[in-house]
Structure formats: C-alpha cells, structure tokens
Amino acid sequence: MPSIETVAEPLISLRNLHLSFGSNPVLKGIDLDVHRGQAVSIIGPSGSGKSTILRCISGLLQPQRGTIRVGNTEVHTLAQEAQRIELRKRVGFVFQQYNLFPHLSVLENLVIAPRKVLGRSRIEAEKEARALLAKVRMEHKADAFPGQLSGGQQQRVAIARALAMRPELILFDEVTSALDPETVGEVLTVIRELTEEGMTCVLVTHEMRFAEEISDIVYFTENGVIVEHGSAAKIFQHPDSERTQTFLRHALGDPGRRPVVANDPYLLTNLGRYSLSV
C-alpha cells in the first residue's frame, strides 16, 4: 500500500536497533516501519533475530541502542513494568505455543483479560467473546476446555483472545509451526481475513506462499540485519540480494519461480491447507 506509506506516519517504527544477549549480538541495526492497516512479514533463517524484533516491539525486550515507537509511545524509554503492561494492552501477541489457560473454558479464556485488565462488565465481555469466537469459527466450542481442541482450533482461540483486547496491532510469531499440516490452513484463513479487514499485522512465518500472498511489505533478515525489504512481489519475484535468492530457493523448494496462479502446482496439491475445516 504505497499510498498509505507516503501520507501517514508509521504505526510502528524501529530505528537502528541493537540488542545483545550477553556478548552475543543478535540485532545489529534494525530499521523497520509498519503503517496502519498493513500486513508486514519478517522472513529469514532460524536465529536471524525475527522473534527478538517482535519482542522488542511489544516491550518484552529492551534494546541496548536504537529507538522503538508504537503510535505515540517511545517503547525504548519505558522504564517501569506498569508502562510496558499498558503497551501490551494495545499490542496483541500470538505465539507458536497457544498458551491458553488450560483450566478455563474457551469462553473464559477470552473473557478474563478484558474483565480484569480493561474492567469490562461480564455481560459486555461475554458478548464480545462470543462474537470473536464466531469470527474464528469456534463458537461451537465456547464451553470446551483447551485440552479438548485440536492445535489449529486452539490457535484460532488464541487469536480471538488477542482480539478480545481490541489491540491496535497484532504480532504473530510462527503461529502455524507447531500445527498438523491439515490445520495450518484454517489458522491462515483467519489471519488472512484479519489483514483484509485492515488489522495491522506483523507476521514472522515460514509459510512463504502465505507471506507472499497477504503481505504488503516483506523484510528478509539474516544474522541480525535486514538484508532487504520491499513489496511481496519484489522480494519473492525479484529480490536484489543473492542471500535472499538463496534463502527463498531453499524455503520454496523450487528455483524461486512463481507458478501461474490458475494452474499453481503448489496450490493444487495444497488446497486443503487453504480451506477451513472445523
């Protein structure tokens, strides 16, 4: 969405981010912008710093150098945990491990934070929770417990739980990596719908075709730096860097050629991954 990019301030802006764990430099000068309503993907090899970037955006990690702005909040200056908790009310985070509360029903998993953190009434929180469960096609499991659900179903509940806080943006960290292949599609469908509705999303993903399809901007990271970024078409079809080309060749399992969509062998053999099963 280049038109948005030129007229508005980014919702998220990282500048010259440096972060080390002990003597191990993990982020070495990260610049990254996300505009309101954009879907931005971060791709790159394991250990390149993708999750660390997301944790910086949500205030879970403090960089040693550089700036992080989310809306009007200068995240790198937040010194107290209470301030970071305020930030995390606005920034949804969905992880690979769904982290649902196992002792609470699906409905209660969605109701607890809006009630305890945002002070909503039970009636209001339950009404919204049921609407969100319908949105992720999980309303029929409102009274079930997480242990009774498939991985894909739990992940959809986790997404609904993040939405229950009415966040300004959502960070997704490898949310389909732990799922059985047949349930990946149902989670991706939910994320695709969120991006189509204009929710600002930052995704770390190994689902390259999905990233290509839904992203406005793609960042390729390696060894703590952004090697290149650009539109999904640019990064997936005409990457500048040899490193990006090599990574995509391996990740896509083909020479990087984008198949014709109408006759796309990947889509034809993976149709099940893109349909919703409940």
Which parts of this chain interact with Mg ion (CB under 5 A)? 51
CB of 61 to Mg ion, least distance (A): 13
Q: Which residue has the tokens 């996300």?
A: 34
CB-CB contact of 96 with 177 (8 Å): yes
Q: Is 51 near ligand ATP (CB under 6 A)?
A: yes
C-beta of 22 vs 147, nearer to ligand ATP: 22
Residues 274 and 257: their CA atoms lie apart, in Å, by 21
C-beta of 51 vs 155, nearer to Mg ion: 51
Stretch that binds ligand ATP, among 41-49, 85-93, 101-109, 178-186 (CB under 6 A): 41-49
| Near ligand ATP by CB under 6 A: residue from 21, 72, 119, 255 | 21
CB atoms within 10 A of CB 150: 15
* DSSP, residue by residue, 180-203: -HHHHHHHHHHHHHHHHTT-EEEE
CB of 96 to ligand ATP, least distance (A): 8
Q: Is 41 near ligand ATP (CB under 6 A)?
A: no
Of 200, 214, 226, the residue nearest 52 (C-alpha): 226
Q: What is the CA radius of gyration of the chain?
A: 19
| Near ligand ATP by CB under 6 A: residue from 13, 38, 41, 48 | 48
Q: Which does 109 bind (CB under 5 to 8 A by kind): Mg ion, ligand ATP, none?
A: none
Q: Which does 272 bind (CB under 5 to 8 A by kind): Mg ion, ligand ATP, none?
A: none
Q: Is 72 near ligand ATP (CB under 6 A)?
A: no
Q: Which does 21 bind (CB under 5 to 8 A by kind): Mg ion, ligand ATP, none?
A: ligand ATP
Residues 278 and 270: their CA atoms lie apart, in Å, by 17
Token representation of residue 95: 């992880």
